[in-house]
Structure 1
């Protein structure tokens, strides 16, 4: 007999919401306010290089090296603009601070059309909801600003946990917060390895959200794959009915 479901855990970025416009465009908007004229494509490429480098050298916002999210992002922003021939240290610090604050605001984020209704339907099934996200500690403010925070019983960011997906430890910490066995928990996310494979490796029912029919994770059974969050409540209800 299947164990009743009690919790749904959620990834956030590119699952419930996404950046409203490209990083290059938003960084260029900030540079323009400082009197600089930069090309979004160049800035976007520079950002990707800076992000990859810092993620490799200082994974998970550098928590293990004594950094925090703001310090880590400040370094990424400065490295991005430095590659685009911006060298004034005061200007770099100002833009880094402004962008860190800007990305804390709801204006820079877009909630997917199916997010709120799906969260509401999951709650109506008497399921509790939590977040497990490779995000820094701005997440609470972002979800509040986007009108999503009230749906969740807890938020667990990788910065706060000190470990990031796909490591099992962050899911194990989430399970302790839920207080139920993994077979009573569902996890929903858009990343094949970090969300789907990682959650299922600890016994959680993982669902892969694949809005764009991505080729990654073709081995995922169709019953574990979602093309839209709208499909989730019916899947959960079916599971719950089979347990009753």
Structure 2
């Protein structure tokens, strides 16, 4: 009972709580390089080096993001699905220039399907308990994530979409966190003041600081010491269970 009371006290001021998704509530089952290699193998492209794929993935992801920021959300040249298809094409052509476009297309389509389901993602320990607890304590619970519109399908596949009143991706919003515009739309739609909103995420700059610069409160979940040291001591936790316990047992100074 005491824990329940403290939890309610800590969240009493908030009418809205939002979450980041990747590495906050969900995480990859495998690094992209390994997943790409395994998917390619299933479709007949064998013996690719996952480490090489991972390195090329990072390089091509960065290059395509520079050319078409935010998955092409503000470009008339490319859809978000085509953005991912282009990324996969660029990666596999570098790995083996002899691959046919039809082969890469099949790999691309399969990966696009996989990354919208629990084939590629798993729950982070403690996420369901914390989500449900916050769901019971706050008026609105939602998602603000730097990703594409496929996120909704992923959340349904992971059986947590029902916990959220709304899911806003950076693609839908037209801006990525830490841009203040990413935090503004939910406030306008649900008529909530910034000081009545709390955001929880795993990145100091994009989640913790981005939210605070928009007038929100925020909590950070990270095991990176350099990131953790930048945040207030009662605002940063190594994992969701630790954060949940703190919300139930100590007074958080927002």
TM (normalized to structure 1)?
0.91
Distance of 2:31 and 2:164 partners within structure 1: 28
| Aligned with residue 40 of structure 1, among 36, 41, 50 | 50
Aligned positions of 1:77-96 closer than 5 A: 77-86=88-97, 87-96=99-108
TM (normalized to structure 2)?
0.88
With over 3 angstroms needed to count, the CA separation of the structure-2 counterparts of 1:8 and 1:234, relative to structure 1, is: farther
Specify the SS of the correspondent of 2:147: coil
Given that 1:3 and 1:184 are in contact with CA atoms closer than 8 Å, whether structure 2 keeps it comes out as no
Match in the other structure for 2:29 = 20
Q: How many residues align?
A: 241
Given that 1:4 and 1:240 are in contact with CA atoms closer than 8 Å, whether structure 2 keeps it comes out as no
Match in the other structure for 1:169 = 181
Match in the other structure for 2:192 = 180
Is 2:137 the counterpart of 1:137?
no
Is 2:52 the counterpart of 1:64?
no
With over 3 angstroms needed to count, the CA separation of the structure-2 counterparts of 1:235 and 1:203, relative to structure 1, is: farther
Match in the other structure for 1:8 = 17
Specify the SS of the correspondent of 2:60: helix
| Aligned with residue 105 of structure 1, among 113, 117, 120 | 117
Is 2:145 the counterpart of 1:146?
no
Give ranges in structure 2 of 5+ residues lacking alignment: 1-10
Specify the SS of the correspondent of 1:173: helix
Specify the SS of the correspondent of 2:74: helix
Given that 2:61 and 2:87 are in contact with CA atoms closer than 8 Å, whether structure 1 keeps it comes out as yes
Task: Please state how far the C-alpha of 1:32 moved relative to its aligned partner.
Answer: 0.8
Task: Please state how far the C-alpha of 1:193 moved relative to its aligned partner.
Answer: 0.6
Give 4+ residue runs of structure 1 displaced > 3 Å after superposition.
Answer: 231-243
Which digits, 9 at most, give the CA deviation of each residue in 1:57-93, with x for residues without a partner?
1110011112222111111111111110143111111
With over 3 angstroms needed to count, the CA separation of the structure-2 counterparts of 1:242 and 1:35, relative to structure 1, is: closer
Given that 1:125 and 1:237 are in contact with CA atoms closer than 8 Å, whether structure 2 keeps it comes out as no
Given that 1:129 and 1:153 are in contact with CA atoms closer than 8 Å, whether structure 2 keeps it comes out as yes
With over 3 angstroms needed to count, the CA separation of the structure-2 counterparts of 1:214 and 1:83, relative to structure 1, is: farther
Distance of 2:82 and 2:62 partners within structure 1: 16
With over 3 angstroms needed to count, the CA separation of the structure-2 counterparts of 1:18 and 1:242, relative to structure 1, is: closer
Given that 2:234 and 2:252 are in contact with CA atoms closer than 8 Å, whether structure 1 keeps it comes out as no
Match in the other structure for 2:240 = 229
Task: Please state how far the C-alpha of 1:214 moved relative to its aligned partner.
Answer: 3.2
